[in-house]
Amino acid sequence: MIDVTVLADASPRLIPAAEYDVGAALRELRSHGIGSALVATRSSRHERSNDVALSAAGSSGGVRLYPVAALNPVQYLDWRSELERVLSAGGVGIRLLPELDSEAFRAMAGAVHGRCPLLVPVMHFGDATAIGTATEALGVPVVLVGAHYTNLGDCLAALERWPHLYLETSRLGLYRGVETVVRSVGARRLLFGSGAPSRPIQAALNAVLSADISTDDKRLILADNASRLFGVPTEPLHLPHTTRAEQLVDVHAHVGALGFPTPAWRPRPDIKLRIASSLQAITDDAQAGNAEAFAAVDDAQRAYVVVNPNDLDGSCRAMDAAYKHDRAVGAKLHCSYSGQPTASRECMALMREVARRGHPLKIHVDGAQWDGALACIAAEYPAWRLIVAHAGPGAPSRSTATLVEHTSNVYVELSTSFPDLPVARDVVRRVGSERLLFGSDAPLLDPDYVLGIYADAGAQLRCTTEVARQVFSL
């Protein structure tokens, strides 16, 4: 297998630094059977980044690293000599920071002049279109790095228009995302990339291996496309196994869909029970959405009643009606969609009403002091149970682990499309198996992608089912 987006980071925010460097990347690649990888690094100046990438090149413990050079349009000065230096030293690609509206970006991209592929991050909807426009006449492949459900629609449209564009898989965690790309533009336009060591390799691997595509297409994605574009030798490929689990209880599921390119949900034999909230209730109409979730309840699915801090009285009526008729097993509060920070007066008032009714609360936290607010409410109602969605504000956070350590009734699940693997590992270690639940965020995210996060973070998946049964009295 060939990983095209290994990125060793340098930042005061990434602690401990040794878990994000080239050595950490090598350990992750080796443990997942990745034989070759393209490695880039990120530093405050592109010369420093390139020195590290070039020095990492070569074989180590069965893994062969190929350097990808970085060029930063913002830095600009002396970039021509830096480009020549890294290409002459064996750089197999150029990673350009996406200052897409700048003449500096266009000049750097043009100077590559077909000598090697470009790798350019896509951060926002519309970036893929801008990259395609800026690079269409260069005669060089361009790999869009970081395709995500928030920008995939633009990425697919750009790939349909410009045949020199490609995608990689490091953030392709949306439900059936690999299948969607292959169906839209073909398997030859998608390359395996993990984002290691900060991203979990198994998540991206699972997304490819579990996709409903042919074995030949999987081989193209995992090795052959990268070999063709970057000239990296490949060996006979034996497809590894995906992460295995049985009888899971998914405490972060949904009915309905958001406005992203995701297909309809298909039931899975490894998920025995889903506890689902309505996406319509979270984003649009709480009354209609909750009715949708209640109507979907069956032997394989339970419901949350979605509550809104902007409508305390309506939320109380909704909870009372749902619990009276056994339509819901808990409440769901999404702070960012409601526009109310977790520590706001409105959210605190609503959480107290949820707690008085005794059923668990699944909360998407947001805003400053969210952890202090949850610590306060958890202490007020020690017999009540709270679940922190994503184990933090959108992704696992060490602040969440600290919150769990100082409370007896706060639980977490790890679903996210922005996993920081060293942080996720720390959270799993600190919260222990007694407070960890399985959540997928399907059908927004793909359960196989999320299972890869759990696997690489060292979570004991079999324990999460028993914890869920205790929390929800199943």
Task: Look up the CATH number of the domain holding residue 408.
Answer: 3.20.20.140
> Residue 240: inside a domain, yes or no?
no
Query: How many structural domains comprise the chain?
Result: 2
Tell me, yes or no, whether 201 and 314 share the same domain.
Answer: no
> 173 with 445: CB under 8 angstroms?
yes
Tell me, yes or no, whether 280 and 177 share the same domain.
Answer: no
Residue 374 has a CB neighbour count (10 Å cut-off) of 25
Q: Residue 223 and residue 252: Cα distance in Å, rounded?
A: 33
> Residue 218: inside a domain, yes or no?
yes
Tell me, yes or no, whether 269 and 133 share the same domain.
Answer: no
Nearest Cα to Cα of residue 443 among 420, 415, 402, 408 = 415
Query: Pairing mode, if any, of strands 58-60 and 63-71?
Result: antiparallel
Tell me, yes or no, whether 165 and 273 share the same domain.
Answer: no
- C-alpha distances in Å from residue 327, one per residue of 139, 230, 318, 341: 59, 55, 10, 28
At which of 167, 199, 230 does a domain end? 230
pLDDT tens, position by position, 160-174 = 999 999 999 999 999
pLDDT tens, position by position, 68-98 = 999 988 888 898 999 999 999 999 999 998 7
Tell me, yes or no, whether 189 and 309 share the same domain.
Answer: no
> 190 with 182: CB under 8 angstroms?
yes
Instruction: Record the pTM.
Output: 0.95
Query: Pairing mode, if any, of strands 248-255 and 271-278?
Result: parallel
> Residue 238: inside a domain, yes or no?
no
Q: Residue 127 and residue 171: Cα distance in Å, rounded?
A: 15
Provide the pLDDT for residue 390. Answer: 97
pLDDT tens, position by position, 340-353 = 999 999 999 999 99
> Residue 241: inside a domain, yes or no?
no
> Residue 449: inside a domain, yes or no?
yes
Domain that holds residue 25: 2-230
At which of 199, 230, 261 does a domain end? 230
> Residue 384: inside a domain, yes or no?
yes
Tell me, yes or no, whether 99 and 51 share the same domain.
Answer: yes
Residue 158: left if φ>0, alpha if ψ -120 to 50, beta else—which one? Answer: alpha
Tell me, yes or no, whether 185 and 272 share the same domain.
Answer: no
Q: Write out residues in the chain with pLDDT < 50, as ranges.
A: none
Tell me, yes or no, whether 437 and 342 share the same domain.
Answer: yes
Nearest Cα to Cα of residue 262 among 201, 175, 190 = 175
Three-state secondary structure readout of the chain: CEEEEEEEECCCCCCCHHHCCHHHHHHHHHHCCCCEEEEEEECCCHHHHHHHHHHHCEEECCEEEEEEEEECCCCCCCHHHHHHHHHHCCCCEEEECCCCCCHHHHHHHHHHCCCCCEEEECCCCCHHHHHHHHHCCCCCCEEEECCCCCCHHHHHHHHHHCCCEEEECCCCCECCHHHHHHHHHCHHHEECCCCCCCCCHHHHHHHHHCCCCCHHHHHHHHHHHHHHHHCCCCCCCCCCCCCCCCCEEEEEEEECCCCCCCCCCCCCCCEEEEEEEEHHHHHCCHHHHHHHHHHCCECCEEEEEEECCCCHHHHHHHHHHHHHCCCCCEEEEEHHHHCCCCCCHHHHHHHHHHHHHCCCEEEECCCCCHHHHHHHHHHHCCCCCEEEHHHCCCCCCHHHHHHHHCCCCEEECCCCCCCCHHHHHHHHHHHCCCCECECCCECCECHHHHHHHHHHHCCCHHHHHHHHHHHHCC
Tell me, yes or no, whether 167 and 300 share the same domain.
Answer: no
At which of 230, 263, 296 does a domain end? 230
Provide the pLDDT for residue 461. Answer: 94
Tell me, yes or no, whether 308 and 159 share the same domain.
Answer: no
Tell me, yes or no, whether 224 and 362 share the same domain.
Answer: no
> 283 with 258: CB under 8 angstroms?
yes
Burial of 251 (0-12, 13-18, 19+ CB in 10 A): buried
Burial of 169 (0-12, 13-18, 19+ CB in 10 A): buried
- Compute and round to an integer the Cα radius of gyration of the chain: 23
> Residue 431: inside a domain, yes or no?
yes
The residue with tokens 């000065």 is: 77
Q: Residue 301 and residue 162: Cα distance in Å, rounded?
A: 43
Tell me, yes or no, whether 224 and 288 share the same domain.
Answer: no
Q: Residue 54 and residue 47: Cα distance in Å, rounded?
A: 10
- C-alpha distances in Å from residue 104, one per residue of 86, 94, 109: 18, 15, 9
> Residue 446: inside a domain, yes or no?
yes
Q: Residue 259 and residue 261: Cα distance in Å, rounded?
A: 7
